[in-house]
């Protein structure tokens, strides 16, 4: 099939590459000329394991194309995926200006029946707005052309997006059109060879499903973090509690790992957007508000315990920070707990040596330049250089190289042998037996 993907960010590029991998002809469109030229030369705008190889392979095979012209792309297809950004507004609501701008351009260029698919995460009711925008353009052109607007939300985990797309848990498609159902059933057939994963539902149902899914996962994280705070105050090891409740099949182990808060491009934004949607219909979302508030507080876990151990004024102290990305397997620092931690350190006069296996270049762009210019924050070349003469290690992101480190090398480098484990990667008794002070989330025993 011939597809057009509008937007070459995380969702658009992964979707386009994976559809091409299954033999489809895919044109990826973006208004950023530099990005398009880079993609043609094999330089990707994001880090995602395995994606570069799929993009390069399918571009070389002639199945994956990159262009700045939506008109050129639309000339050869009638299935258009909208995968542009929906950044949060000041009130937390999703900003639809890019989605609706694409819809307007589609309406100005359409010449035959088309399926327009919202792949971006968009609020309930967006498909109606997209449809109205396209129809307004067709009316302006005095044309009567049939089209369907479909919601097909993505459920991709950064760091595992290729597997998630190629072997999905489910494919949610929101449409009432039998014509659209037939075409999309054919498009997704290669992803359903093992068993049927496609779930058809109403458009508004599909739009809500994405927000409900992410908010449910965020709720599990905030819940276990809430429990971890109680455990710290009551002399309980949260890891034993986690194993105890996770063994219950109704609860499970997924997303009940205590830590220093969630981040990224999805959970924070989607919880905030769903809160805003609720408030727009005069409903107070008590659970979601608590999920959001707990996460904001949890991102200050390090600063709370550093103050307890060292005092409120950290002037003269230096800390080694392992991990900057919001999770392993990505260079994404949006809403990352590391950003909150570094801001807290700077505000209390501390210095930090920071290291991340992938996200260093992103950190250089996203963190305030004055932090580096003042010498308060410095990059380290590797994880052990980040421990040179530091007063404590702060583990923020659970990258694999951090999970079983060289403790002897750490002892030689560190001024004070103290570990604050924001992801509970280490066994407290063993670490303490090796001469380190150890503080874990819900494990202050």
Q: For residue 221, give the 3-state DSSP assignment.
A: helix
Cα gap 8→439, rounded to integer Å: 41
Helix (H, G, I), strand (E, B) or coil at 103: helix
Could you list the beta-strand ranges (E) of 55-174.
64-67, 79-82, 114-118, 147-151, 171-174
Q: Which helix (H) or strand (E) holds 34?
A: helix 33-40
Tokens of residue 385, six digits? 């250089």
3-class secondary structure, 127: helix
DSSP per residue, 315-376:
TT-EEEEE--SSSTT----TT-HHHHHHHHHHHTT-EEEEE-SSTHHHHHHHS-HHHHHTTS
**Residue reference for tokens 């458009």:** 203
* 266 included as an active-site residue: yes
C-alpha span between 224 and 245 (Å, rounded): 10
Q: Do residues 330 and 158 lie in contact, with contact meaning Cβ atoms separated by under 8 Å? A: yes
Active-site residue, selected from the candidate residues 18, 231, 260, 266: 266
Residues annotated as catalytic are 266
């Amino acid at each position: 099939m011939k597809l057009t993907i509008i937007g070459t960010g995380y969702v658009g590029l992964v979707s386009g590459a994976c559809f091409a991998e299954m033999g489809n002809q895919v044109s990826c469109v973006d208004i950023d000329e530099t990005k398009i030229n880079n993609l043609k030369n094999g330089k990707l705008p994001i880090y995602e394991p395995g994606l570069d190889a799929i993009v390069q392979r399918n571009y070389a095979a002639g199945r994956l194309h990159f262009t700045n012209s939506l008109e050129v792309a639309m000339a050869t297809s009638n299935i258009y995926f909208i995968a542009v950004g929906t950044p949060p507004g000041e009130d937390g609501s999703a900003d639809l200006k890019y989605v609706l701008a694409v819809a307007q351009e589609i309406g100005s260029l359409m010449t035959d029946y088309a399926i327009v698919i919202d792949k971006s995460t968009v609020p309930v009711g967006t498909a109606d707005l997209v449809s109205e925008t396209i129809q307004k353009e067709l009316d302006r052109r005095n044309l009567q052309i049939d089209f369907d607007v479909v919601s097909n939300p993505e459920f991709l985990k950064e760091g595992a997006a290729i597997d998630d797309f190629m072997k999905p848990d489910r494919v949610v498609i929101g449409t009432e059109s039998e014509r659209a159902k037939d075409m999309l059933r054919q498009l997704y057939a290669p992803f359903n060879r093992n068993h049927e994963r496609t779930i058809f539902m109403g458009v508004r149902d599909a739009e809500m499903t994405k927000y409900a899914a992410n908010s449910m996962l965020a709720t599990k994280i905030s819940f276990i973090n809430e429990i971890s705070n109680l455990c710290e105050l009551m002399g309980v090891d949260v890891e034993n509690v986690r194993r105890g409740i996770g063994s219950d099949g109704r609860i499970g182990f997924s997303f009940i790992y205590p830590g220093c808060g969630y981040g990224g491009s999805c959970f924070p934004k989607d919880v905030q957007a769903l809160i805003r949607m609720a408030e727009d219909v005069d409903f107070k979302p008590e659970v979601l508000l608590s999920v959001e508030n707990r996460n904001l507080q949890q991102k200050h876990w390090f600063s709370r315990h550093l103050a307890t151990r060292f005092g409120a004024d950290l002037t003269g102290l230096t800390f080694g920070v392992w991990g900057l990305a919001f999770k392993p397997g990505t260079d994404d620092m949006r809403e990352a707990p590391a950003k909150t931690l570094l801001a807290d350190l700077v505000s209390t006069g501390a210095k930090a040596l920071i290291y991340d296996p992938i996200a260093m270049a992103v950190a250089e762009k996203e963190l305030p330049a004055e932090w580096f210019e003042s010498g308060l924050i410095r990059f380290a070349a590797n994880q052990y250089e980040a421990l040179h003469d530091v007063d404590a290690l702060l583990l923020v992101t659970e990258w694999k190289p951090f999970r079983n480190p060289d403790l002897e090398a750490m002892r030689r480098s560190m001024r004070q042998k103290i570990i604050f484990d924001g992801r509970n990667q280490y066994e407290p008794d063993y670490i303490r037996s090796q001469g380190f002070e150890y503080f874990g989330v819900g494990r202050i025993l």
